[in-house]
Amino acid sequence: MDAFTTHTGTAAPLRRSNVDTDQIIPAEYLKRITRTGFEDGLFVAWRTNEPDFVLNKPEYADASILVAGPDFGTGSSREHANWALLDGGYKVVISARFADIFRNNSTKSGLLTVVLPAADVEALQDACETDPTLAVTVDLVAREVRWADRVSGFEIDDYTRWRLLEGLDDIGLTERHLGDIDAFEAARPAWKPRTLA
């Protein structure tokens, strides 16, 4: 996973609520066994069926920050949704509320999800609609999003922030505690089920 400290780029406003992971990337794109190359499935139904879809507009072609409506990432646990956004050039998604699994997957895949108050999300959507070239900075060190003369702070727990700032692999961190896992296993009741004889 790449480390994330601060990112400055342009933002695209996605004024839709309940953007589910089937919209982010439909099931037919999940048959692949690779971890990259999912950009062709990103929002593909909306991009194909709605000529006016905001992400079809050339002025947002290079956007790297997605500013979405509430309840972003609901539905399936597919991490392919996070990969598709990353493959599509996004580094950050901003919303007033994310689905739990999507948000959790983001912390593992290196896509930063930022929760801002609904009013600030709308203000940012307005701003990048008015000026698609507006520079937006997402600063994980300072825990704030900055655009024009606005600053909006966001919360993220210290541990997740540290892991993202360092770009650390979760499995490697857990492997430092193998002794604890061994001890836990030794105390498990014998009647717990096993899949193998």
Partner 1 sequence: MGQTLAQKVYEQHVVRRTEGEPDLLYIDLHLVHEVTSPQAFDGLRAAGRTVRRPDLTMSTEDHNVPTTNLLAPIADPVSRAQVEALRTNTAEFGIRQAPMGTRDQGIVHVIGPQLGLTQPGMTIVCGDSHTSTHGAFGALAFGIGTSEVEHVLATQTLTQRPAKQMSVRVDGELPLGVSAKDVILAVIAEIGTGGGQGHVIEYRGSAIEALSMESRMTICNMSIEAGARAGLIAPDETTFAYLQGRDHAPSGEDWDAAVAAWRELRTDDDAVFDREVVIDAASLTPYVTWGTNPGQGLPIGAAVPDPASFADESDRAAAESALAYMGLTAGTPLREISVDTVFLGSCTNGRIEDLRVAAELLRGNHVAADTRMLVVPGSVFVKQQAEEEGLDAVFTAAGAEWRGAGCSMCLGMNPDQLAPGERSASTSNRNFQGRQGKGGRTHLVSPAVAAATAITGRLTAPADLQTAGA
Do the beta carbons of residue 78 and residue 25 sit within 8 Å?
yes
Nearer to partner 1, 10 or 23 (CB): 23
Do the beta carbons of residue 95 and residue 72 sit within 8 Å?
yes
Contact call for residue 16 and partner 1 (CB under 8 A): yes
Neighbours of 57 (CB within 10 A): 13
Sign of CA dihedral 128, 132, 135, 137: positive
Contact call for residue 143 and partner 1 (CB under 8 A): no
Nearest Cα to 38, choosing from 77, 90, 84, 85?
A: 84
Nearer to partner 1, 10 or 76 (CB): 76
Among 8, 17, 56, 64, binds partner 1 (CB under 8 A): 17
Contact call for residue 171 and partner 1 (CB under 8 A): yes
Contact call for residue 113 and partner 1 (CB under 8 A): no
> What is the crossing angle of helices 100-109 and 158-166, to 10°?
40
Among 8, 18, 56, 152, binds partner 1 (CB under 8 A): 18
Rounded to the nearest whole angstrom, what is the least distance from the CB of residue 48 to partner 1 in the complex? 9
Pattern 20-59, partner 1, x by CB under 8 A: x-xx--xxx-xxxxxx---------x---x----------
Element (H, E) at 105: helix 100-109
- The owner of tokens 């979760």 is 170
Say how many residues make up the chain. 197
Among 47, 56, 64, 71, binds partner 1 (CB under 8 A): 71
> What is the crossing angle of helices 100-109 and 80-87, to 10°?
50
Backbone angles phi, psi at 46, to 5 degrees: -70, -40
Nearer to partner 1, 166 or 170 (CB): 170
Binding segment (CB under 8 A) for partner 1, from list 84-92, 129-137, 138-146, 184-192: 184-192
Contact call for residue 190 and partner 1 (CB under 8 A): yes
Residue ranges in contact with partner 1 by CB under 8 A: 15-18, 20, 22-23, 26-28, 30-35, 45, 49, 69-71, 74-80, 82, 97, 99-101, 104-105, 108-109, 157-159, 170-171, 173-175, 177-178, 180-181, 184-185, 188-196
